Amino acid sequence: MKFHLLKTDPSGARAGVIETDHGEVSTPVFMPVGTYGAVKTVSPAELAAAGTQIVLSNTYHLFLRPGPETIQRLGGLHRFMAWDGPILTDSGGFQVMSLSDLSKVDDDGVTFRSHLDGSEHRMTPELAVRIQEQLGSDIAMCLDELVSPLSGKDAARKAVDRSLRWALRCFRSRKNASMALFGIVQGGIYADLRVHCARNLVEMEFDGYAVGGLALGETSGQTWEAVQASAAVLPPRKPRYLMGMGTPEDLLEGIARGMDMFDCVIPTRNARNGTLFTSEGRLSIKTAAMRQDEGPPDPACGCYTCSNFSRAYLRHLFVTGEMLGFRLNTIHNLSYYHQLVSRARKAVLEGVFDSFREEFRQRWSRGVEGPEGHPDA
């Protein structure tokens, strides 16, 4: 993997290109979440048509079903899911600690029970890297220890120290040099811990760096302070990935702080809940007001959904529980996200990112439903 930083805007926002064995990725980039090796409701062809450049998939879920050995035997995750673009996998750490029953962390790793059948499993830094190699990931993440940003500084410090030891073990256990490996900056809401963590990771010379453990209950001010403190220490010539945060506002705030990569379930999950992101703000497709609305979901969008179907039809599909509706909503939301990030990139390249962000804020706050927090984070 190579990263080319093309331009840094006066605001700090960046535009670049990531080169992988499965193609190039223009940054900033939004990565749809394909938990089980499928971005919910959409096909690989639809992802490509919506502008998806790189997909994220979840190691924890694929570890449990169908298992990394099965995927490896079937030719790797790209072939399994028929996606020939780049794939980033998380380490599974976040899901082990948030989804599984009874996870127990020790210095060597994590013991946990599957949320599906209660079976006991063990995850270590070495295994997390090995699984991601079996999957054939283009960009892998280190296993880290996650603690709530609200659990106090002592807990945050201990988790950082353990995560740094694990990061080194991940780094050393990697066998496939063509798989990029990213370190993850932890440290909760404490700027000094973030700086400490980031500096130590940078010394290990990872291929890129992620900022993790945020938008988990802390205030928005604390979130962005922690991002800023982390980013300030990261080397400009390496890509930076803000994990799991992804309202449209989050993307622009993150880009403004020099972040390059984003993932979130919000566009896909909200689509299935009947909320669309449009050039005019959030739009609830379920409401009675949509019943006779023959306009497209977003008049400014040219995606398959907006080119062919009315708000009234999408409402009808939602009300009758037709799966096609979940999909058409997803296609639009992903298209919206990719268009938003692509416009942000253009603004960076033209050196006008600040005014782009300001214009977005104003348009968005006039929107159909107006801005809100992290409804699905």
Q: Which residues are catalytic?
A: 90, 263
Minimal distance, residue 77 CB to a copy of itself, in Å: 10
Instruction: Say how far residue 216 (Cα) sits from the centre of its chain.
Output: 14
**What is the chain's length?**
377
Q: Which amino acid is at 359?
A: E
Instruction: Say how far apart CA 202 and CA 306 lie, in whole Å.
Output: 44
Options 9-17, 38-46, 215-223, 249-257: segment touching a copy of itself (CB under 8 A): 38-46
Options 62-70, 187-195, 197-205, 357-365: segment touching a copy of itself (CB under 8 A): 62-70
| Residue whose tokens read 């899911």 | 81
Q: Does 51 bind a copy of itself (CB under 8 A)?
A: no
Which of 230, 259, 252, 206 has its CA nearest to residue 91? Answer: 206
Minimal distance, residue 141 CB to a copy of itself, in Å: 22
Minimal distance, residue 83 CB to a copy of itself, in Å: 10
Instruction: Say how far apart CA 1 and CA 24 lie, in whole Å.
Output: 10
119-178 residues near a copy of itself, rule: CB under 8 A: none
Binding flags for a copy of itself, 65-104, as an x/- string (CB under 8 A): xx---x--xxx----xxx----------------------
Contact (Cβ atoms closer than 8 angstroms) between residue 185 and residue 230: yes
Q: Which residues pair with 27 in a beta bridge?
A: 16
Binding flags for a copy of itself, 268-297, as an x/- string (CB under 8 A): -----------------------xx-x---
Q: Which is nearer to a copy of itself, 40 or 174 (CB)?
A: 40
| DSSP code string of 142-159 | -------TTS-HHHHHHH
- Cβ atoms within 10 A of the Cβ of 222, count? 18
Q: Does 320 bind a copy of itself (CB under 8 A)?
A: yes
Instruction: Say how far apart CA 209 and CA 137 lie, in whole Å.
Output: 16
Question: Dihedral, CA atoms, 44, 36, 73, 110, nearest 10 degrees?
Answer: 150
Q: Which is nearer to a copy of itself, 74 or 150 (CB)?
A: 74
| Residue whose tokens read 């971005």 | 39
Please identify which residue in 121, 316, 361, 374 interacts with a copy of itself, judged by CB under 8 A: 316
Q: Does 44 bind a copy of itself (CB under 8 A)?
A: yes
User: Which residue ranges make up the site for a copy of itself (CB under 8 A)?
Assistant: 36-38, 40-45, 61, 65-66, 70, 73-75, 80-82, 291-292, 294, 304, 308-310, 312-313, 316-317, 319-320, 322-328
